[in-house]
A = this chain, B = another copy of it.
Amino acid sequence: MESVTTLALHPDRLFPADASTREVARRLYSSVKDLPIISPHSHVPPEWISEDIPFSDPTSLLITPDHYVTRLMHAHGVQLHELGVGQGPLDEAASRAAFRHLCAHWGIYAGTPVRYWLESELVDIFGVTEVPTAGNSDAIYDQIADWIARESSTPRALMESFDIEVLATTDDPCDDLTHHRAVADDQTFARRMVPTFRPDRYLEPGRADWNAHTDRLAEVSGIDCGTWSGWVAAMEARRAYFKAHGAVSTDHSHKDLRTDVLEHADAERIYAGARAGTLSAHQAEALQRHMLTEMARMSSEDGLTMTLHPAVARNHHHPTFERYGADVGADIPTSVEVVRGLAPLLGRYGTSPQFKLVVFTMDETVFSREIGPLAGFYPSVYVGVPWWFLDAPDAIRRFRKAVTESAGFGKTSGFIDDTRAFCSIPARHDMSRRLDSVHLAELVVEHRLSEDEAASVIHALVAENPRKVFNL
């Protein structure tokens, strides 16, 4: 007989052992734990909210679309297709089998943030009370399936019960934003969903599909993209469209952060080559960097906050990409250079009054060396909070210790969940609030900050900073 272990969430989780520090952390945390969630960057599909599509089954809810979850099982020998990846809709047998894999592999997540988020969801959302095992996997599956069937479990209902005040999605510049308009127009739904302008594929002239995307940009914008000037005008038009539909930011993820600038005539000439398909790799790169800097110029004019998520080796394992496509857990961080890369962009727009630039990284070395110091000088620059592989307790603790001393608290972005795992959003924000409380509590007990001031800082980190950085 398999023994059953109780699953419960300790109210002091993530707080340090030291009693005096814990006391302060508790007080700081309790002052912000119930504030509404502001999520200025996520990957939730907008149709979930506009159409209020119910979730289908536990595996599609918690496993298949979440590469955080699937990648570690893959690292322990489970094939991605066994977890539903690349399978289309799952029948119940397949869904239960995948769910059993997760429960049977519960131990491999020990010490990871995935474990933390899943435990929070199981207890707080689904009411599960036992640690998952192969043995109780079907029972837990049933419990979650029952929960999914409730009226209170649709995306809109959850947006209410999770108290998500603002949710930003990530969208193609040619998207018509129907879903965002529908949500905005619905007087019965008070929550806010805003689009984010994510033009990566339009800014990489080296891609095989760049011309096709550019053709579509011309079509959607109604502006001839035969010239560089046309492309610029089309982009400006689409940004204006996004802004009119509530967008507050643009997001960019290229392999590096270089922002070299071309002379206008060179830009026109190279752009013409791109449209003609005669570009060298070097020219494609030069044009991409120039385009990114143009995005900053536009931000300095239209006020859309620019966020940068650079330096990921996408689809590192080619056979996995061939079989399963992108976003299945095979993206790996690489090192990034910020200071020289952004110098041209910041030389032009770094002190522009309307410009706001949030720099994220998965290369921790640049926090104290580059991003903190840049944010501590440029009025436009903000330090993005820990992203992706760094969105975990120890890394978040290192982040605050690395950037606060040069940039303070006021030049950091506020928490970003960056997730497509809808039910993990509360746990992720809660984790951040706890950890920032701990960081501040340590400053308090080491007599580096008064508790009154710490209370004001923790409130700013949760509420004022994201509103300010994203014009919310």
Residue positions of A touching B, CB distance < 8 A: 5, 10, 12-18, 20-21, 71-72, 74-77, 107-113, 116, 313, 316-320, 329-330, 332-335, 337, 339-340, 343, 346-347, 350-351, 362-365, 368-370, 372-379, 381, 389-390, 392-395, 398, 401-402, 404-411, 442-443, 445-450, 452-453, 456-457
CB neighbours of A411 from chain B (8 A): 75-76
Does the CB pair B347–A75 fall under 8 Å?
no
CB neighbours of A347 from chain B (8 A): 317-319
Contact for A448 among B14, B370, B373, CB less than 8 A: B14
In the bound complex, how far is the Cα of B449 from the Cα of A5, in angstroms?
A: 13
Q: Known A-B contacts: A13-B447, A13-B448, A75-B378. Give 16 more (CB < 8 A).
A: A14-B446, A15-B447, A16-B445, A75-B377, A107-B453, A110-B408, A111-B404, A113-B405, A313-B343, A317-B378, A333-B339, A335-B337, A335-B369, A364-B368, A365-B369, A392-B405
In the bound complex, how far is the Cα of B329 from the Cα of A378, in angstroms?
A: 10
Does the CB pair A410–B108 fall under 8 Å?
yes
Q: A351-B319, A377-B74 are in contact. Are A393 and B405 (CB under 8 A)?
A: yes
Does the CB pair A75–B14 fall under 8 Å?
no
Q: In this complex, which of A77, A378, A392, A442 has the most chain B Cβ atoms within 10 angstroms of its Cβ?
A: A378
Q: Which residue of B lies closest to A380 (CB)?
A: B75
CB neighbours of A335 from chain B (8 A): 337, 365, 369
In the bound complex, how far is the Cα of B390 from the Cα of A190, in angstroms?
A: 46
Contact for A17 among B317, B381, B394, B442, CB less than 8 A: B442
In the bound complex, how far is the Cα of B185 from the Cα of A235, in angstroms?
A: 71
Q: A17-B18, A411-B75 are in contact. Are A5 and B452 (CB under 8 A)?
A: yes
Contact for A313 among B339, B351, B395, B447, CB less than 8 A: B339
Does the CB pair B76–A410 fall under 8 Å?
yes
CB neighbours of A332 from chain B (8 A): 339, 370, 373-374, 377
- Chain B min CB distance to A390 (Å): 7
In the bound complex, how far is the Cα of B317 from the Cα of A91, in angstroms?
A: 58
Does the CB pair A76–B379 fall under 8 Å?
yes
In the bound complex, how far is the Cα of B373 from the Cα of A335, in angstroms?
A: 13
Does the CB pair A376–B72 fall under 8 Å?
yes
Does the CB pair B390–A395 fall under 8 Å?
no
In the bound complex, how far is the Cα of B74 from the Cα of A373, in angstroms?
A: 12
Does the CB pair B449–A111 fall under 8 Å?
yes
| Closest CB pairs A-B (n = 8) | A10-B447, A392-B405, A13-B447, A17-B445, A111-B404, A394-B401, A17-B18, A71-B377
In the bound complex, how far is the Cα of B313 from the Cα of A394, in angstroms?
A: 30
In the bound complex, how far is the Cα of B21 from the Cα of A471, in angstroms?
A: 44
Does the CB pair B405–A334 fall under 8 Å?
no
- Chain B min CB distance to A463 (Å): 15
Does the CB pair A446–B75 fall under 8 Å?
no
CB neighbours of A319 from chain B (8 A): 347, 351
- Chain B min CB distance to A411 (Å): 6
In the bound complex, how far is the Cα of B337 from the Cα of A334, in angstroms?
A: 8
Q: A317-B346, A369-B333 are in contact. Are A393 and B110 (CB under 8 A)?
A: no
In the bound complex, how far is the Cα of B20 from the Cα of A75, in angstroms?
A: 34
Does the CB pair B405–A456 fall under 8 Å?
no
CB neighbours of A390 from chain B (8 A): 368
CB neighbours of A116 from chain B (8 A): 448
CB neighbours of A330 from chain B (8 A): 377
In the bound complex, how far is the Cα of B319 from the Cα of A346, in angstroms?
A: 10
In the bound complex, how far is the Cα of B440 from the Cα of A111, in angstroms?
A: 9
Q: Which residue of B lies closest to A363 (CB)?
A: B369
Q: A15-B446, A313-B339 are in contact. Are A72 and B379 (CB under 8 A)?
A: no
Q: A72-B376, A392-B405, A407-B75 are in contact. Are A446 and B370 (CB under 8 A)?
A: no
- Chain B min CB distance to A244 (Å): 28
CB neighbours of A72 from chain B (8 A): 376, 407-408
Does the CB pair A369–B364 fall under 8 Å?
yes
* Between-chain CB contacts (< 8 Å), 10 pairs: A14-B447, A17-B445, A75-B407, A76-B411, A107-B453, A110-B408, A111-B405, A332-B374, A334-B369, A335-B337
CB neighbours of A407 from chain B (8 A): 72, 75
In the bound complex, how far is the Cα of B442 from the Cα of A76, in angstroms?
A: 25
